Chains A and B, each alone.
Chain A
């Protein structure tokens, strides 16, 4: 996992800025971070396909960025947009809670 990498969805978004801007703070490639990113990508693809952007920030590389978003726990997922800012901490293992936390309406399967 590289720091500051922006993972764009396979299909480009219609607008220049994606509707959902998510930021995932991690500290190195720990099992929790890897799990969190995998969980997040899976959920986004399922429910927000084409409408999201995930930025991964590794605090071990950029410790300064921790204060800006008031990061305390890792992994922390921050919903930058749409506002208001929401935070979810943990490895995002519960899809239901993540969706509630991000306020995402699940697409019907």
Chain B
């Protein structure tokens, strides 16, 4: 470590000053999101410490680091474990889609299981851990390893009684790893007072990552934090992460950049009059559309129509339904002449239904990522976003939605999100989960009670980048689907519901010149 007057940017006050940021070369971990937080990966040629309690995903972290290195970055690796046998590890990481067996056969990964059993070992006189070094060196040479994972090195402490020797040898081990330029991940158990149970952080000081598993409101979330990264700037937040079907996914928020395309192409809504209100052609493609409304205002029906219309044009649509089952949604929409089943059968429409409380927000997000990647839709409907968490004040919801919206935009997908608004009295800003600012288009549906009759009304609160109608329009569900009815003015005032129907009928009979009909029928 070279001393320098220039201090590297860092967040951890305990980190020693010294290293120059630019001098740290990085090895991509290949773990989704982590390389963004760490601005490129783990410190190359140095050991990193991954700390966590039981079940935090330490082994998975280490395994993915090795597998990704071998498969994606051409860096063979050695996985040395002290707790699991090789067979157990292979079986465990197979659940992440990693074929360790094959990598071992191909000579890209070497696995060595070091069993330390106190009961079998008698100690007398002086010894060192040269055997461990020899095994490690042999494994490293056998595959030409650039990466090493040691999981969990601390098991040695329970296996050997002479901790003074052990500590000296561990110090030598980390030196040894550095001297050979091996990028290493060392896992360790978290302790209550110090970071690790045996104080391994004293030896591995270059990069320390903390994994955590927390249960809040009965929903568990894994979190990752880069405690320290000597000589490199890094994200300091806690980032949710999950162990998904394809490995670990860390969900960084701060790394998101606003650089997605802004196409001019439009996505018609399938509701002729609504398109007309949106400068005649509908939403911009890849935009984020919020449709909010209190219960019974017709949010689901409006988005179902938008989905159906997209399918009619041959586009692929994915609906995430968090309130209704797929069958229920199909049945209910059929009552207003929206036939979703036709499109699910054709394979253009897929409906994912699940209870929102089933998982934490992050799991939802990853599930969405997966579903979107698999299905490759051009339109995604989330109905409703407000139901993704049991608490509308959940601090995690906004970042999660931000990530979702950004993901959609980057994937060239138009996103339509519905939002259940509690009561009509609440102010607009309060009831939008703070997400309205993320949205490009905001349609608000409401119930208007006039003279003993409730009618449905639709208005466009905003629609970025296009002129749009400022009128509050009445819309109806009929056996022809969703229709926005023509504005009917009686003496300059719009009429709605029965009064409009009556006046229209009377008007048809009399045809008075005063009644105007703003006409813009469906094309």
Contacts and interface: CB of A to CB of B under 8 A. Distances in A.
A57 to B, nearest CB: 10
Given A27-B131, A66-B131, A36 B121 contact: no
Interface string A52-74: 00000001100110110011111
Contacts of B131: 25, 27, 59, 66, 71-74, 76
Interface string A39-55: 10000000000000000
Contact of A73 (B112, B127, B137, B138): B127
Nearest to B114: A72
B122 A59 contact: no
A5 interface: no
A64 B131 CA distance: 11
A63 B134 contact: yes
Give the bracket for the number of chain B residues in contact with chain A. Answer: 20 to 34
A63 to B, nearest CB: 4
B141 to A, nearest CB: 8
A101 interface: yes
Interface residues of A, number: 33
Contact of B134 (A60, A88, A93, A100): A60
Contacts of A32: 125-128
A89 to B, nearest CB: 5
Given A25-B131, A73-B131, A94 B114 contact: no
B313 to A, nearest CB: 62
A65 to B, nearest CB: 9
Interface in B142-190: 156, 159-160
A80 interface: no
Interface in A73-109: 73-76, 85-94, 97-98, 100-101
A66 B123 contact: no
B202 interface: no
Nearest to A63: B138
Given A66-B131, A67-B112, A71-B131, A93 B124 contact: yes
Nearest to B117: A70
A43 to B, nearest CB: 11
A87 B138 contact: no
Contact of A74 (B123, B124, B128, B160): B128
B121 A89 contact: yes
A35 interface: yes
B130 A91 contact: no
B116 interface: yes
Given A63-B137, A66-B135, A66-B138, A75 B122 contact: no
A85 B137 CA distance: 26
Contact of B124 (A63, A72, A85, A101): A101
Contacts of A27: 130-131, 134
B426 to A, nearest CB: 65
Nearest to A97: B124
Nearest to B162: A90
B122 A86 contact: yes
B134 A73 contact: no
A91 B127 contact: yes
B138 A90 contact: no
A92 B127 CA distance: 9
B16 interface: no
B191 interface: no
11 contacts: A59-B130, A71-B135, A74-B127, A87-B122, A89-B127, A90-B124, A90-B125, A90-B127, A93-B125, A98-B122, A101-B122
Closest 7 CB pairs of A and B: A101-B122, A91-B125, A93-B125, A90-B125, A63-B138, A71-B131, A97-B124
Given A87-B120, A90-B127, 19 more contacts: A27-B131, A27-B134, A32-B126, A35-B125, A59-B134, A60-B134, A67-B112, A70-B115, A71-B131, A72-B132, A72-B156, A72-B159, A74-B127, A75-B127, A89-B121, A89-B160, A90-B124, A91-B124, A97-B124
